[in-house]
Chain A
């Protein structure tokens, strides 16, 4: 199966600081990546996606960077807020025409007020 992992299982940041969550993937054929946020007791919520023909994509307060050379992607959250406290995980899809998304185990982000 696919291997999608995270460098750090937990991350604590001060409110107002920027957060960076990292993700490594193993399948060089993967061409589509997604970030999800999961709050305690809830289902995952889509944040942002990026396709392999891009290096960077920005959303509202979030930026995803993709480095295909080292098979790494990161999620940057600007001006982190208490409501950003959650588990964040990345997912990869090695085939755009398929429905198989392989999810990582997640990084728990805690925002310190």
Chain B
């Protein structure tokens, strides 16, 4: 298994509170991604990073921010969580931008009450 660790794996929070999800990799891959998975929608890209301090928006980036200060860590922050952000969040990594072979973490289940 690729060395990807997501934390926390489960979190319950209240509307309006900030939440940060962490993705840590030991593969030294350049590209890192945050996806959310919801019933009926499949995986949707939130943000991605192509290097330290280099990030870009994905399909559903509103309400989310990211940071990557080190190659191995990619943080996803919900500044003020809403119920619509209840989802399972997956981090993924890849060696380069032209491959669809992404290695996914185990997921972080977030419930916003």
If the complex has contacts A43-B90, A103-B42, A104-B42, are A97 and B102 also in contact, measured as CB distance less than 8 A? no
For the complex, give the distance between the alpha carbons of A41 and B9 in Å. Answer: 11
Q: Which residue of A lies closest to B4 (CB)?
A: A43
> Contact between B100 and A43 (Cβ–Cβ < 8 Å)?
no
Judged by a CB distance under 8 angstroms, whether A89 is at the interface is yes
Residues of B close to A1: CB separation below 8 A: 59
Of the candidates B40, B45, B105, the one whose C-beta lies within 8 Å of that of A43 is B105
Of the candidates A41, A42, A46, the one whose C-beta lies within 8 Å of that of B100 is A46
Mark B1-23 against chain A: 1 for CB-CB distance below 8 A, else 0. Answer: 00010000000000000000000
Q: Which residue of B lies closest to A33 (CB)?
A: B100
Of the candidates A44, A89, A99, the one whose C-beta lies within 8 Å of that of B104 is A44
Binding site for A on B (CB under 8 A): 4, 31, 33, 40-45, 48, 50, 56, 58-59, 90, 92, 97-107
Most B-side CB within 10 Å, residue of A44, A91, A99, A103: A99
20 A-B residue pairs with Cβ-Cβ distance under 8 Å, sorted by A, are A1-B59, A4-B42, A32-B100, A34-B101, A42-B106, A45-B104, A46-B100, A46-B101, A46-B102, A49-B99, A91-B100, A99-B45, A99-B50, A100-B58, A100-B59, A101-B45, A101-B100, A101-B102, A105-B41, A105-B42
Judged by a CB distance under 8 angstroms, whether A112 is at the interface is no
Q: How many A-B residue pairs have CB under 8 A?
A: 60
Residues of B close to A46: CB separation below 8 A: 100-103
> Contact between A43 and B42 (Cβ–Cβ < 8 Å)?
no
Residues of B close to A113: CB separation below 8 A: none
> Contact between B43 and A103 (Cβ–Cβ < 8 Å)?
yes
> Contact between A105 and B40 (Cβ–Cβ < 8 Å)?
yes
Of the candidates B42, B45, B98, the one whose C-beta lies within 8 Å of that of A96 is B98
Known: A41-B106, A102-B59, A103-B43. 12 other contacts (CB 8 A): A4-B42, A43-B4, A43-B107, A44-B102, A45-B104, A91-B100, A97-B98, A98-B97, A100-B45, A101-B45, A101-B100, A103-B44
For the complex, give the distance between the alpha carbons of A98 and B90 in Å. Answer: 19
